[in-house]
């Protein structure tokens, strides 16, 4: 089931009554989520991700615009008739019901022709429980489960009614680091197995990048970029997207393009043909630095962090926006760590230029 957003907008009246301007939580969403894909809604907290999710579930009604599931207009449909599965950030498992009763709850709501017998319900609940591997916990109460187990029960409860759309609201934020890694693989597996169109809200870009077919990067209610995770990472449409994606984050510099060359301070670091002369922001991914003795970029070496798989060089450069910049290099190509200066050459594909005013990307 594909989901089509058509200029979907949600405004809230401002909490501060003196300000009459509305808060726009979701601003003119206009895109299509293809059938059977896992899509990540990604953005810093407070950017309207959860509002967008609640608009899809029907818990909130949009101010304007339309929403379609497949060809059906569901804009005005109340949540109980939309057939979506929603996993809440806090899981919202009913504390007085056992795991089995929790999972069966949506099935017991079915009326009329869809009504199932008790045996059928139990069978479906067990199948859903097996999918998330909690079948041996069926008789427990939610308070007797760990966070990860509760998470699985919540997913099973959302899946048991075979929803057209599965919505996950920050599903991993309450789990510890190791469990988070494991659970996100699990979500990916379940999504692949069930082929349900899934929208996944997160503020953690790594989470979104690792499992999503497509990510939607938002800020202040506006969509900044939509695309495959790698595409968005490689060709960020503006400075915000570039800064938001990637850990460690991208290094940003003040730069100048002059005569087909990019200058960082006094260093002419890169050939930039076809770019008119102007001041720019320069984003360089940590993996875009190549340590080279005669490299064009001269930095003051501060510290080297050895992290097993690779090595980070922390350095400073007068044109950088931050005090230190971080370069990640292979452990093998590591140079002497005791010198006071370090020179880099740059990989052109890891360097991005942005307009000084609009912060939009400049292609070169």
Partner 1 sequence: MEKKGFKAWLYLLPAFLFLGVFMIYPLIDVFIYSFEEGYNFASQTFLGVGTYNYSYVLHDPYFLQALKNTFILVVITVPLSTGLALLISVMLSSIKPLRELYQTVFFLPYVTNTLAVGLVFMILFKKTAYSEGMINLLLHLFGAPSVDFIDGPYWAKMFVLCFYTVWVVMPFKILILTSALASVNPVYYNAARVDGTSRFRIFYKITLPMISPMLFYLIITGFIGAFKAYNDAVALFGVNLNAAQMNTLVGYIYDMLYGNSGGYPSYASAAAILLFTVVLTITCINLLVSRKHVHY
Binding residues for partner 1, rule: CB under 8 A, are 57-59, 78-86, 88, 90, 92, 94-96, 105-106, 108-110, 157, 161
C-alpha–C-alpha distance, residues 299 and 357, integer Å: 27
Least Cα distance to 303 among 348, 258, 340, 354 occurs for 340
Residue 332 CB, shortest distance to partner 1, in Å, is 51
C-alpha–C-alpha distance, residues 202 and 108, integer Å: 31
Q: Which is nearer to partner 1, 120 or 271 (CB)?
A: 120
Both tokens assigned to 307: 């992290």
Residue 225 CB, shortest distance to partner 1, in Å, is 29
C-alpha–C-alpha distance, residues 28 and 194, integer Å: 30
Residue 80 CB, shortest distance to partner 1, in Å, is 4
Q: Which is nearer to partner 1, 141 or 355 (CB)?
A: 141
Residue 202 CB, shortest distance to partner 1, in Å, is 18
Residue 59 CB, shortest distance to partner 1, in Å, is 5
Coil, helix or strand for 119? helix
Both tokens assigned to 214: 């497509």
Q: Which is nearer to partner 1, 108 or 123 (CB)?
A: 108
Q: Which is nearer to partner 1, 49 or 157 (CB)?
A: 157
Q: Which is nearer to partner 1, 165 or 342 (CB)?
A: 165
DSSP labels, 140-167 = S-GGGS-HHHHHHHHHHHHHTT--SEEE
Q: Which is nearer to partner 1, 58 or 229 (CB)?
A: 58
Residue with tokens 């899509």: 39
Q: Give the number of other Cβ atoms within 10 Å of residue 39's Cβ.
A: 21
Residue 129 CB, shortest distance to partner 1, in Å, is 16
CA–CA distance from 326 to each of 181, 253, 266, 317 (Å)? 25, 12, 20, 11
Q: Which is nearer to partner 1, 30 or 108 (CB)?
A: 108
Phi, psi of 24 (to 5 degrees): -100, 105
Q: Which is nearer to partner 1, 84 or 208 (CB)?
A: 84
Rounded to the nearest 10 degrees, the angle between the axes of helix 147-159 and helix 99-108 is 20
Q: Which is nearer to partner 1, 97 or 226 (CB)?
A: 97
Residue 93 CB, shortest distance to partner 1, in Å, is 8
Residue with tokens 């804009």: 75
C-alpha–C-alpha distance, residues 12 and 24, integer Å: 6
Residue 104 CB, shortest distance to partner 1, in Å, is 11
Rounded to the nearest 10 degrees, the angle between the axes of helix 118-131 and helix 99-108 is 120
Q: What residues are paired with 361 via a beta bridge?
A: 354
CA–CA distance from 64 to each of 10, 82, 340 (Å)? 7, 18, 59
C-alpha–C-alpha distance, residues 124 and 111, integer Å: 16
Residue 151 CB, shortest distance to partner 1, in Å, is 14
């Amino acid at each position: 089931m594909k989901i089509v957003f058509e200029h979907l907008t949600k405004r809230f009246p401002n909490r501060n009554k003196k300000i009459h301007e509305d808060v726009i939580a979701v601003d003119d969403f206009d895109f299509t989520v293809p059938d059977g894909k896992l899509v990540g809604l990604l953005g810093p907290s407070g950017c309207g991700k959860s509002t967008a999710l609640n608009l899809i579930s029907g818990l909130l009604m949009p101010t304007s615009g339309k929403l379609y599931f497949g060809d059906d207009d569901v804009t005005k449909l109340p949540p109980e008739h939309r057939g979506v599965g929603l996993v809440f950030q806090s899981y919202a498992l009913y504390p007085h019901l056992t795991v089995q009763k929790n999972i069966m709850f949506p099935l017991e709501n079915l009326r009329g022709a869809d009504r199932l017998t008790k045996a059928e319900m139990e069978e479906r609940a067990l199948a859903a429980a097996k999918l998330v591997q909690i079948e041996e916990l069926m008789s427990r109460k939610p308070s007797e489960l760990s966070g990860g187990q509760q998470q699985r029960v919540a997913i099973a409860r959302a899946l048991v009614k075979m929803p057209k759309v599965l919505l996950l609201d920050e599903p991993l934020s309450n789990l510890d680091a190791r469990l988070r890694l494991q659970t996100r693989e699990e979500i990916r597996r379940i999504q692949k197995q069930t082929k349900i169109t899934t929208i996944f809200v997160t503020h953690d870009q790594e989470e979104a990048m690792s499992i999503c077919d497509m990510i939607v990067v938002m800020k202040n209610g506006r969509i900044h970029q939509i695309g495959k995770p790698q595409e968005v990472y490689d060709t960020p449409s503006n400075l915000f997207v570039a800064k938001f994606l990637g850990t460690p984050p991208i290094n940003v510099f003040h730069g100048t393009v002059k005569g087909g060359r990019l200058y960082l301070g006094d260093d002419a670091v890169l050939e930039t043909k076809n770019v008119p002369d102007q001041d720019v922001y320069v984003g360089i991914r940590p993996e875009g630095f190549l340590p080279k003795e005669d490299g064009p970029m001269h930095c003051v070496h501060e510290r080297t962090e050895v992290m097993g798989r690779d090595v980070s060089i922390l350095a400073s450069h007068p044109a950088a926006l931050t005090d230190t910049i971080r370069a990640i290099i292979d452990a093998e190509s590591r140079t002497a760590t005791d010198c006071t200066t370090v020179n880099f050459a740059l990989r052109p594909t890891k360097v991005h230029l942005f307009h000084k005013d609009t912060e939009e990307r400049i292609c070169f």
